[in-house]
């Protein structure tokens, strides 16, 4: 897709989003929005150049596992707000907690409430590596603080991050998310590529970019430059280039190497946290990082994030050496939502049931694709997954760039959307499952998948 041309193109009101699906009202609303909002949307993930071409769906409402657009089309929703809606839309317990807090107490006080400590205790009890925790507003903000804290604690300046991962849009880490391979250096030794223009010069000098799932590259880099490396920043499961699982032993090797060299290991669990289990991916996979970042799952659909970890590192926040500020941090809405969400997530058997429904979808999709003879497979863990249309295994970003068929994925997305199944049109996003999804939803999704897979098989 030519980004420059897309940025300046007019919305194609006369062209439907997907054949056989009436989305005329979405087209009209997008045309009007473009006159007022740059690109017509308020986040890149909703933009035309992220796959919502010629315009995104405009939503009227959501309830449970379903969303309805402004044209009256209803979809089984696996987009789930890009992850936050772990209980589906308008979960009663979380929604009521927020309403009660606003009506009975307020919203923002710039003073603490006892509810904050109750929430902190729930996070500490749930996540193995957390001794102390601070609340933030977004994952971007939490990552910014985590990297700053790691640098202050180690008195080193470099951060290792991995190609294909997204850790928010702050200048310090918004590099090498999805770079053009021909501009990103050799496979074993990538160079930092800014995600776009406007980055301050010299930021890249503080970054070391590595391929993921390559323990040798990590070990060699730390052996060579360990004295200047403050932190290794990683998702425990790669979730921003589709879904890519860590190879057996990789995270264990990462933990061992960073501990040996006094490097802070930061897990970005914005997507995996509280979703892959109450203790996040780190509990599920048995790895204990030094600092962790959470966002989407913790708020049950409301904007709240958290950053926490070892007490000796968090002590720099406690004594004021590293400032963590924010007028809206720990506001009443966020606190009420997160307290209610964590209570819900702590329900015995909840994650086991969520896994069971998710496993049924993942295995079912895999069988549908295999039965159709398509060059495709499903990768995932728990309620997080993606379909790869590829003839080779994908272990890192460059594998995805070289082997994933984005065109077939788009046709897959179009066919599923036309049959009432919603997920992101980009292969580098994910399908999410919520506690609101039922086995009837899964059955309907698989019925749609069989029809679409058959159509694709005739043309591939």
| Residues marked as catalytic | 166, 268, 296
Is 10 exposed, middle or buried, given 0-12, 13-18 or 19+ CB atoms closer than 10 A?
exposed
6's tokens: 């897309």
- In which order are the strands placed within the sheet that holds 132-136? 132-136, 305-309, 291-294, 264-269, 229-234, 158-162, 207-210
Cα distances (angstroms) measured from residue 4 to each of 48, 49, 149, 196: 11, 9, 37, 12
Rounded Cα distance, 3 and 85, in Å? 30
DSSP letter for each residue of 39-85: GGSSSGGGSGGGT--S-PPPEEEEEBTEEEETTS-EEEESSGGGTT-
CA 71 to chain centre: 28
In this structure, the chain runs to a length of 460
| Residue 357, number of CB atoms within 10 A of its CB | 19
Using only the alpha carbons of the chain, give its radius of gyration: 22
- DSSP-derived pairing of the beta strands 377-381 and 384-388: antiparallel
Residues 6+ apart with CB under 8 A from 199: 171, 174, 175
Residue 238 is classified by DSSP as B
- Which residues pair with residue 234 across a beta bridge? 267
Residue 386 is classified by DSSP as E
| Residue 280, number of CB atoms within 10 A of its CB | 27
Do 164 and 240 form a contact (C-beta atoms < 8 A)? yes
Q: How close are the terminal C-alpha atoms of the chain, in Å? A: 21
**ω into residue 291 within 30 of 0, thus cis?**
no
């Amino acid at each position: 897709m030519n980004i420059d041309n897309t940025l300046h193109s007019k919305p194609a009101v006369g062209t439907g989003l997907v054949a056989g699906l009436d989305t005329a009202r979405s087209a009209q609303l997008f045309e009007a929005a473009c006159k007022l909002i740059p690109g017509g949307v308020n986040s890149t993930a909703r933009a035309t150049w992220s796959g919502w071409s010629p315009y995104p769906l405009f939503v009227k409402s959501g309830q449970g596992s379903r969303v309805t657009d402004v044209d009256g089309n209803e979809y089984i929703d696996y987009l789930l707000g890009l992850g936050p809606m772990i209980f589906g839309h308008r979960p009663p317990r979380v929604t009521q907690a927020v309403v009660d807090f606003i009506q009975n107490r307020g919203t923002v006080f710039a003073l603490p409430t006892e509810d904050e400590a109750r929430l902190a205790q729930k996070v500490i009890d749930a996540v193995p590596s957390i001794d102390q925790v601070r609340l933030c507003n977004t994952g971007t903000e939490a990552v910014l603080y985590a990297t700053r804290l790691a640098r202050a604690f180690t008195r080193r300046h470099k951060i290792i991050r991995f190609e294909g991962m997204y850790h928010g849009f702050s200048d310090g880490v918004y590099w090498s998310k999805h770079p053009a391979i021909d501009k990103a250096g050799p496979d074993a030794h990538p160079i930092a590529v800014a995600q776009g223009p406007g980055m301050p010069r010299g930021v890249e000098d503080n970054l070391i970019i590595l391929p993921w799932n390559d323990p040798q590259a990590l070990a060699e880099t730390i052996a060579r430059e360990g004295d200047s490396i403050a932190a290794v920043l990683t998702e425990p499961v790669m979730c921003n280039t589709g879904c890519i699982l860590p190879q057996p032993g990789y995270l264990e090797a990462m933990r061992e190497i960073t501990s040996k060299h006094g490097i802070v290991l930061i897990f970005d669990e914005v997507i995996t946290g509280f979703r892959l289990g109450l203790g996040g991916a780190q509990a599920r996979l048995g790895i204990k990082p030094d600092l962790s970042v959470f966002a989407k799952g913790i708020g049950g659909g409301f904007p709240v994030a958290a950053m926490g970890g070892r007490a000796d590192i968090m002590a720099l926040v406690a004594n004021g050496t590293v400032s963590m500020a924010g007028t809206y941090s720990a506001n009443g809405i966020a606190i009420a939502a997160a307290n209610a969400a964590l209570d819900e997530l702590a329900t015995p058997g909840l994650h086991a049931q969520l896994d069971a429904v998710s496993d049924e979808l993942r295995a079912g999709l895999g069988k549908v694709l295999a039965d159709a003879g398509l060059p495709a497979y499903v990768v995932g863990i728990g309620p997080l997954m993606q379909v790869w249309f590829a003839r080779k295994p994908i272990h890192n970003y460059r594998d995805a760039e070289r082997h994933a068929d984005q065109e077939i994925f788009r046709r897959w997305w179009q066919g599923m959307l036309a049959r009432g199944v919603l997920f992101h049109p980009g292969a580098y996003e994910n399908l999410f499952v919520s506690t609101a999804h039922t086995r009837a939803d899964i059955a309907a999704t698989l019925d749609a998948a069989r029809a679409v897979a058959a159509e694709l098989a005739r043309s591939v």
